[in-house]
Structure 1
């Protein structure tokens, strides 16, 4: 199958814009890019780009495609099947926002990933972590004071709770066995879990090193949910590949991260979004969550700005699933707020993200022989990156050469 996209301006980060181009897609790959007339088959599908901007589909490096706010009450009340059907709605919302690949930080499992690959529903492609490693009493240990455990489990889906070097070693292996593409670790407290604080680290350095060594032996990267300064340092010392959130990072630790090539996925959108929209009225823990959130919002952007100035590589991630899906590219505005150029922000969610997940040869830019995961945008985001935050400006989305959004 051939598709010809005519009359587009190609926008790749770190490159000059290529104007008035024709792009030929054959099956799922970009076959040819030319300013001249392109030879095609008789049954070619033609898309008139109308002088709009063709870009690589975005990669969200921190999302939760199955999640709908992570409310423990819903885990208790809803049938298990609904947990999976959420992914259908959320997947389409995310694709419509211009995101064609995600790093899912839980709880999408191997079955959800297979279903997407088979085309059973429209969704970003997924790199999955299945479920995070959680310390007893730590962030996302959903064992309640009542004695009830709100963690969702079913055959093939491992529980994440573990303590001590032997348990974390076994749990890392279990999660790999369950089909994980990377390992996620809850290395500090968080906003959504009661009786934990974002200020304090979780897991000790020996445990963290054990996780990293086992993951790296199997060529899996390790990402840490971590707000705590001490926790960030523990993770860098243990050899982690990325820090998610990084709220209380300082200049010294930023320098250490940059030296060790540890990436930072700041997810600024989620805190700003929650701060302004709040929690449901029926959430019994809303006051505690809001108090923690206020402390994060006070310092997060300022600290991420310091990390950027110290040379830490930032990647675009949103924590969608904690907040409503489909707002993903609003994160780009927050990235430019802390000092990134529009071009750098776009790169953080395209070519740099593709490199981090090991897909630079196939994703992240509009280039011949790469997979045709593309978006057509109304306007030039290099002039105004907020264009991308309005889903109505994402005119078309192409994934594996197939049109999955068409305005």
Structure 2
């Protein structure tokens, strides 16, 4: 749902914002997770979705989003929590359709393909189709973990959706009921994935949980068995590897972009420190100080 123009505006200095890798729109089938039309056909997607119901339509959808500047391609391999017409266990794009998406992305520069995938059947379809990452992965089992390991696929758990993203007062009842039902399942399966050594990158499904405390995701990973350092690596180096930008981002290495976060306290002994913005005392983005509670003068800035 984010046009590539926002990325360009940040890159060219027209606005100050985060570094953006956008999929532009998510590719879904009719009635699937990305189809948010009302029963009378009124489209409420606001440019969020690209619908495709055949292998050829899936290829065409990829070509459209790439034409519009997508850095990666995102598909719906399952239903979801917030969608009105399906369940997380429902399958989304077919394995053949996903394979065509992956092939089309390969033909256009080898862009990563991320799969919204919650139920295990759709996770398996996505992995067999060759996606780069499984987004959410709530129902992931040993078969899928084995396949992800064989294919080198990433798992992005987005635990904020089940730790902080449940609010009965602000959610439609169907959404709330799905969240409650899947919360325990998610924690059990992701804890097992961590124990199995899955290749985990950090994601938050931002806007499902509250903005500004996104790094609480690190504490959720640690709560399910990941070490604090492994959680930090999941949010830096591994995430950069997933997006194919690890040649310039993700590690504090000479010659790479100077992206740094300084915090008050030691997150290796208390990972919750990073989830509270008050503890973030300095943020450096590509060598430019964006937040400074340390009183650094210009001569000392990177």
Mapping for residues 234-249 of structure 1, pairs under 5 Å: 234-249=125-140
Larger radius of gyration between Structure 1 and Structure 2 = 1
The structure with higher relative contact order (CA 8 Å, sep 6+) is 1
**Structure 1 residue runs of 4 or more that deviate by more than 3 Å after TM superposition:** none
Matched, 1:375 2:266: no
Q: In the alignment, which of 4, 21, 39 is matched to residue 127 of structure 1?
A: 21
How far apart are the structure 1 equivalents of 2:25 and 2:162?
Answer: 22
Change (3 A) 1:242 1:395: same
How far apart are the structure 1 equivalents of 2:273 and 2:240?
Answer: 22
Q: In the alignment, which of 193, 204, 207 is matched to residue 321 of structure 1?
A: 207
Aligned-pair distance for 1:279?
A: 4.5
Please report the TM-score for the alignment, with normalisation by the length of structure 1.
0.70
Matched, 1:178 2:68: yes
How far apart are the structure 1 equivalents of 2:107 and 2:197?
Answer: 28
How far apart are the structure 2 equivalents of 1:112 and 1:200?
Answer: 33
How far apart are the structure 1 equivalents of 2:79 and 2:57?
Answer: 20
How far apart are the structure 2 equivalents of 1:294 and 1:379?
Answer: 34
Over aligned residues, Cα RMSD in angstroms?
A: 1.4
- Does structure 1 retain, via aligned residues, the 8 Å contact 2:201–2:238? yes
- 5+ residue gaps, structure 2: 294-302
Q: Which residue of 1 aligns with 2:103?
A: 213
- Does structure 1 retain, via aligned residues, the 8 Å contact 2:264–2:281? yes
Aligned-pair distance for 1:159?
A: 5.2
SS at match of 1:223: strand
Aligned-pair distance for 1:323?
A: 2.6
Matched, 1:347 2:233: yes
Q: Which residue of 1 aligns with 2:36?
A: 142
Aligned residues: 292
How far apart are the structure 2 equivalents of 1:350 and 1:391?
Answer: 18
How far apart are the structure 1 equivalents of 2:191 and 2:68?
Answer: 37
- Does structure 1 retain, via aligned residues, the 8 Å contact 2:71–2:111? yes
Aligned-pair distance for 1:240?
A: 0.7
Mapping for residues 1-400 of structure 1, pairs under 5 Å: 107-153=1-47, 160-218=50-108, 219-275=110-166, 277-280=167-170, 286-400=172-286
